[in-house]
Amino acid sequence: MMTIKALIFDLDDTLWPVAPVIQQAEASLHAWIAQQLPALASTYSIDALRERRQALVKTDARFSYDLWALRHTLLKQVFAEHDASPDLADQAMQVFAHARNQVTFFADVMPALGVLKDSYQLGSISNGFADIEAIGLGEHFSVSLAAHTFGCAKPDPRIFLAMLEHLQLAPSEVMYLGDDLRLDVAGAQQVGMRATWVNRRGITLAETEHADVQPDFIVKDLQELLRELNLSVR
């Protein structure tokens, strides 16, 4: 690992558990809708909105990588159905985004990042739309790419290649770390990056749907990563 100069992270389920974040954000959004348009909230439960969203994603290729546009478009549609101002959809997205950024880091993350940033360039590539600055990672990450603003999602090689361009480093000098074997590990390896599987669930490769993917390294958390890199939290 000694040639590695940059560590690039996935976000959701690598640095924090995402399911409770989305659950809370959708609950906050629905409560806000109930205040603004009670009839809409009565018509569409959280589950019903999710089903509409899953149907909508099939109608435009953009929605496969731009999750912000997907949610925003759905909200504009359902507000229009209830003769509400389109501006309400913008406000609703701000409510959702604020709650989406209320993440709880895994306990190992912030202490480890505090150490790693002294030895490596740090950054992120994410298919989600968490706000790095709002979450508090801005001081640690020098570059962050998000699918919804970049224009494609992992495992598309273009987003990994763009990161290399930002870093001005060779692929072999960059390690990508994430929880998803297909999106993160295979995605990074296809452009020549090294890839670490952050296996927080403690499962074996054989237990996954992508047992053919071979990570360069496997760690259970970022504390184990520090040990592999011969670093420690001071």
Which structural domain range is residue 40 located in? 19-100
Q: Which of 41, 73, 100 is the last residue of a domain?
A: 100
Are 163 and 204 found together in one domain?
yes
**CA-based nearest residue to 66, from 125, 154, 155, 128:** 128
Q: Which of 56, 81, 100 is the last residue of a domain?
A: 100
Is there a domain that residue 234 lies in?
no
Are 216 and 185 found together in one domain?
yes
Are 14 and 39 found together in one domain?
no
Are 58 and 153 found together in one domain?
no
Say how far apart CA 1 and CA 13 lie, in whole Å.
24
Is there a domain that residue 178 lies in?
yes
pTM of the model: 0.93
| DSSP code at position 16 | B
pLDDT at residue 231, as a whole number? 82
Are 152 and 46 found together in one domain?
no
Are 205 and 174 a contacting pair, CB within 8 Å?
no
pLDDT at residue 126, as a whole number? 97
Is there a domain that residue 233 lies in?
no
pLDDT in tens, the chain (234 residues): 458 999 999 999 999 999 999 999 999 999 999 999 999 999 999 999 999 999 999 999 999 999 999 999 999 999 999 999 888 999 999 999 999 999 999 999 999 999 999 999 999 999 999 999 999 999 999 999 999 999 999 999 999 999 999 999 999 999 999 999 999 999 999 999 999 999 999 999 999 999 999 999 999 999 999 999 988 665
**Sheet holding 121-126: strands in order across?**
143-146, 121-126, 6-9, 174-178, 194-198, 217-219
Sign of CA dihedral 122, 125, 126, 131: positive
Q: Which of 100, 132, 165 is the last residue of a domain?
A: 100
Are 194 and 224 a contacting pair, CB within 8 Å?
no
Q: How far apart are the first and last CA of the chain?
A: 21
Q: What is the CATH number of the domain that holds 36?
A: 1.20.120.1600
**CA-based nearest residue to 75, from 112, 50, 99:** 50
